[in-house]
Amino acid sequence: MSSRHAGRKLPRRPERRDVSKDITSILNGWDFEPGKISVRKIVGLDKQPKIQLRLDLGLLQMEVVGRPDGQRPHGCESLLDYHRQRLEGRRDADAFELSPRECEGLRAEAMMYYHRYLCEFALEEYDAVLRDAQRNLDVLELCRRHARTDADRVAMEQYQPYILMMHTRAKAMSALKNDDFAAARHAVQEGLARMRSFGEEVSQLEAIENSPEVAVLRSLLEEIDQREPLDPIRAIEASLAQALADERYEDAAKIRDQLRLLRGGK
């Protein structure tokens, strides 16, 4: 040290305070409600949107696009994409196999997407639900075709009805957002047909027909019927039938006149 600074104390560096990792402040005012999917979107430190799911002991935070945990296994968007790239272009595609460890990784990854599409449904982001539910259906198909062991080929089979139900609900609810009742009804009928096809494939048709997932879709069909505005002619025809049943013939005559007008005077 030079004589110029002799006897002088150098200024002390400010003490470093560790940033608290306690998440209590994040959870304050956001109580866990059993039986309810409590979800919200926030902006992360990277200025990108995130999805948060409230759990009893904390929360899950997920990326909105890509793999929910933000990781890129083997430089790919997901393990599913990685294995698809391995399979793509192979002349011996039928010989391609997924090891038990690889199947386990795909199942764990599918669970991440399951949590995210539940949140997306609660947020009414139905296009995102369709994307993530279809992605998990693709995982089932990949394992069914290429898993090395019988156990891995059928390990996720039990979840197919639920994933199909969520995919169908998202498609129908997206159509209902645009008041397209015909498209919504078609989506549910198509989903029920896929359910039955799966039931026949695994020789469990009766179990599928009586499953909670099929019950949910049938209830959705009823909801669509209730929400759809009744065709004016059908509504007046129903009124005419009721008037005749009640022997209110004068009212019935007036209703017939209304029908003639709606039908172009014929």
Neighbours of 214 (CB within 10 A): 20
235's tokens: 């509504």
Report how far Cα 36 is from the mean position of its chain's Cα atoms: 16
- Residue 3 above 60 pLDDT? no
pTM: 0.79
Domain assignment of residue 252, yes or no: yes
In degrees and rounded to multiples of 5, residue 143 shows phi and psi of -70, -40
Residue-wise pLDDT for 96-150, tens only, equals 999 999 999 999 999 999 999 999 999 999 999 999 999 999 999 999 999 999 9
Domain assignment of residue 28, yes or no: no
Local confidence band at 53 (pLDDT 50, 70, 90 cut-offs): very high
- Alpha-carbon span 181 to 173, nearest angstrom: 10
Domain assignment of residue 247, yes or no: yes
Please tell me the predicted confidence (pLDDT) of residue 7.
52
Domain holding 235, by residue range, is 231-266
- Residue 1 above 60 pLDDT? no
Tally of domains within the chain: 1
Domain assignment of residue 102, yes or no: no
Domain assignment of residue 64, yes or no: no
Please tell me the predicted confidence (pLDDT) of residue 254.
86
Please tell me the predicted confidence (pLDDT) of residue 18.
62
